[in-house]
Amino acid sequence: MPTIAVVNQKGGAGKSTVSVHLARWLQRRKEKILFIDADGQQTSSIWLESLENEIPFKVIQDPNELLEQLPKLTKTKQWVLIDGPATLSETTRAVLLWADLALIPCQPAGVDLASASDTVRLVRQAQLIRGGLPKSALFLNKAIKGTRLKEEAITVLKQIEDVTFLSSIIHQRQIITDSFGQGATVFELTGTSAGVARRELDSLFKQAMEVLDA
């Protein structure tokens, strides 16, 4: 089954949030998942431990260990989802050598846009080695409706070459920030705001699957 890595060396871009939500989204579709937390801060493993309906995970941050384990883990009949580290490190390179899809969240701010293109650079290097893999998709997270920053970010991200810009945008939503503390994802939370966040994530993940299948 496919391996998806959520990468961007910029802390706060939403890697852990998106990877945990993607895991839950796949689990709700009856898919088998192994989650790998490759980030030293271990946000996602703490989050996954707090969830009901367990999602199995391993913490592997050492690049050598990743390079030795991923060949085995990615051959099994389960999705492998990797929450990437907050550095442009050997760990990121190791992960990009085994992912089928690199999913890159980006916040609408100048420095974050620059870091997204640094991440894409690493993706391109892996693609040269692997004859085109990993496929890659970039998307805007934490956007604020009606702001110039959002529109400017979309313009900049669309121009980055060799990566698909997903038109589904995830907006800055309190319910998403709160989900970690509630030991849940927005897929389990009730209420209107959870529903709105769920629809955005659902649309994003469907687009990511299209890139994976293309």
Ligand X SMILES: Nc1ncnc2c1ncn2[C@@H]1O[C@H](COP(=O)(O)OP(=O)(O)O)[C@@H](O)[C@H]1O
Q: How far is the CB of 43 from Mg ion (least distance, A)?
A: 4
At which residue do the structure tokens 């640094």 appear?
Answer: 118
Taking CB under 5 A as the criterion, the residue among 43, 91, 119, 185 binding Mg ion is 43
Q: Interacting stretch for Mg ion, rule CB under 5 A, among 16-24, 108-116, 144-152, 155-163?
A: 16-24
First to last CA, the chain: 15
Q: Which residues contact 84 (CB under 8 A, 6 or more apart)?
A: 5, 6, 7, 8, 15, 38, 39, 91, 92, 95
- Under the rule (CB under 6 A), what is the footprint of ligand X? 11-17, 43, 86, 141-142, 170, 172-173, 176-177, 180
Q: How many residues bind Mg ion (CB under 5 A)?
A: 4
Exposure string over 157-192, b if 16+ CB within 10 A, otherwise e? beebeebbbbebbbebbebbeebbeeebbbbbbeee
Q: How far is the CB of 214 from Mg ion (least distance, A)?
A: 27
Q: How far is the CB of 86 from Mg ion (least distance, A)?
A: 6
C-beta separation of 34 from 78 below 8 A: yes
Our CB check for Mg ion shows the closer of 15 and 198 to be 15
| Helices of type H across 97-173 | 110-130, 148-159
Verify binding: residue 150, Mg ion, rule CB under 5 A.
no
Q: How far is the CB of 16 from Mg ion (least distance, A)?
A: 3
Q: How far is the CB of 123 from Mg ion (least distance, A)?
A: 18
Verify binding: residue 15, Mg ion, rule CB under 5 A.
yes
Our CB check for ligand X shows the closer of 7 and 97 to be 7
Binding site for Mg ion (CB under 5 A): 15-16, 39, 43
